[in-house]
Chains A and B, each alone.
Chain A
């Protein structure tokens, strides 16, 4: 079975983004309700606590 590429669609109100199959059967009803394509959302910025420990300068050792 062929892989179906997915696209990002934004709701008419702009309050929801869905990652859906890029087929006319899926897109048609959404687009008929005013959904439109948007670029892939940017990856969330890493929070400070998510930073790998090795990448953080360890100032305690210098003291």
Chain B
């Protein structure tokens, strides 16, 4: 028996050399997770109930099928380190500047036509342990994990919960147990909160200064890679169960919604009707070593809906992020003390 609070987790901030090659311990950090569930391993058996010739319709035998690994959520307060990690592993094209801290990561969605690994994103390893050692309850290293998507939520509330980042991960089914990994001390993260938003301009509307200042309520941005199933001839096996050998992105989606208070002459309706398209930039700045900017290159408004948020008349705006032929879809820029992310 063990209290779930004994669960410790770590995962690779550096990428694996290949989908089936575990991360080196030097590239694994230990972090906390607001999701209190461990990552379940689900081997699936099948039976012979559909086969005739047994003399009856009932199953008589079990067969090993595959590892049906559920997706796993890493939910954390947004920090420069975790943002850099999540965005690098979910978008794929990463440039890092700097040989000493702070490092500046520029990240954009990889293109299938030019990505060195085709439709595959970088992979990382994930470690979960409860009392690791000779009498461990849980000590596993999951190999070949990928970021399926994420959701960034910025709210008008106090504290770290005002800037949350939840990341959905998938894994192949390959694992090593015991992990033989001694996790390092927990990495100290540099977290943001909504009060640290230092730039917030969407489609020409500045929500920090001027007539629309103080009117911003919340923003949700999300990314989804829509991975295709990774079973194929030669995808591999673990314990006799088939595992997935690749995660290729499908039709990726980038969604942004935000809520702003209604004012006389609110500009959002006008932008919708005029089909105005412009950049959208949101920046968090903690200090010179920790900052994050999401620069959407061309954003229009799909829906602007009058609503009520905590008794205040608001507009709920659904954006359409257009692919700009020169600048692409979105450019993420993160300054952080953590080096080696996705390297």
Residues of A with Cβ closer than 8 Å to B? 5, 7, 9, 12, 22-24, 27-29, 31-34, 36-37
Which of A12, A31, A33, A34 is in CB contact (< 8 Å) with B106? A31
Which of A9, A33, A34 is in CB contact (< 8 Å) with B95? A9
Does A34 contact B114, Cβ atoms closer than 8 Å?
yes
Contacts A22-B95, A32-B327 given; indicate if A12 touches B113 (C-beta within 8 A): yes
C-alpha gap A34/B111 in the complex (Å):
6
C-alpha gap A5/B105 in the complex (Å):
12
Q: Tell me what chain A mostly uses at the interface: helix, strand, loop, or mixed.
A: mixed
Does A24 contact B98, Cβ atoms closer than 8 Å?
no
Does B93 contact A36, Cβ atoms closer than 8 Å?
yes
B138 at the interface (CB under 8 A from A): no
Q: Which A residue's beta carbon lies closest to that of B92?
A: A36
Does A7 contact B97, Cβ atoms closer than 8 Å?
yes
Does B108 contact A37, Cβ atoms closer than 8 Å?
no
Q: Tell me what chain B mostly uses at the interface: helix, strand, loop, or mixed.
A: strand
* A22: B residues at CB distance < 8 A: 95, 97-98, 104, 106
User: In chain B between 283 and 341, which residues have their CB closer than 8 angstroms to a CB of chain A?
Assistant: 293, 295, 297, 324, 326-329, 331, 333
Residues of B with Cβ closer than 8 Å to A? 93-98, 104, 106, 108, 111, 113-116, 293, 295, 297, 324, 326-329, 331, 333
Does B331 contact A32, Cβ atoms closer than 8 Å?
yes
Q: Which A residue's beta carbon lies closest to that of B328?
A: A32
What's the least CB distance linking B296 to chain A, in Å? 11
4 extra interface residue pairs, beta carbon distance < 8 Å, beyond A29-B328, A31-B108, A34-B93: A7-B97, A24-B333, A32-B108, A37-B96
Contacts A22-B104, A24-B106 given; indicate if A32 touches B95 (C-beta within 8 A): no
Which of A5, A24, A29, A36 is in CB contact (< 8 Å) with B326? A29
Does B111 contact A29, Cβ atoms closer than 8 Å?
no
What's the least CB distance linking B234 to chain A, in Å? 28
* B95: A residues at CB distance < 8 A: 7, 9, 22, 27, 31, 36-37
Q: Which A residue's beta carbon lies closest to that of B97?
A: A22
